[in-house]
């Protein structure tokens, strides 16, 4: 998964996306809020953490896509689509798109 994500980042940077990566990130990977990662309460702990992480990636990539200039959005949209697929593959529910809560 890490290799896939690195490929998506590399593609976005090659397309001209700004490199806003930090040297370290607070992943906040403790127990996710039950209503955020698993509103139905049916996921195991590992699944809930994976769903929460992929949902964070989905939010990140949709923000990047929204901020990107025309012609530079394709890689960010592909990354967002991938994160959404991973949320569902882990058994999670997709959040509403930003601004459509």
Number of domains in the chain: 1
User: Would the pTM count as exceeding 0.75?
Assistant: no
Q: Which range of residues forms the domain containing residue 54?
A: 43-100
Position 88 in a domain: yes
18: phi then psi, degrees, rounded to nearest 5: -70, 145
| Residue 37 is assigned to a structural domain of this protein | no
Name the pLDDT band for 8 (thresholds 50, 70, 90): confident
Q: CB count, 10 Å around CB of 74?
A: 13
79 compared with 38, residue with greater pLDDT:
79
User: Could you tell me if residue 20 is inside a domain?
Assistant: no
Is residue 94 classed as helix, strand or coil in its secondary structure? coil
Residue 17 has pLDDT above 70, yes or no: yes
Whole-Å CA distances, 16 to 41, 64, 78, 92: 41, 12, 15, 32
Is residue 30 situated within a structural domain?
no
How far is the C-alpha of 99 from the C-alpha of 5, rounded, in Å? Answer: 25
Q: Residue 52 corresponds to which tokens in the numbers above? A: 């929460």
- With respect to residue 78, please indicate whether it lies within any of the assigned structural domains: yes
Instruction: Determine, yes or no, domain membership for 34.
Output: no
């Amino acid at each position: 998964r890490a290799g896939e994500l690195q490929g998506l980042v590399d593609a976005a940077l090659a397309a001209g996306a700004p490199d806003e990566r930090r040297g370290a990130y607070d992943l906040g990977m403790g127990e996710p809020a039950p209503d955020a990662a698993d509103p139905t309460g049916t996921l195991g702990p590992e699944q809930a953490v994976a769903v929460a992480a992929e949902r964070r990636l989905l939010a990140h990539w949709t923000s990047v896509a929204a901020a990107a200039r025309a012609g530079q959005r394709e890689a960010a949209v592909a990354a967002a689509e991938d994160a959404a697929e991973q949320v569902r593959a882990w058994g999670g529910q997709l959040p509403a798109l930003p601004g459509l809560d």
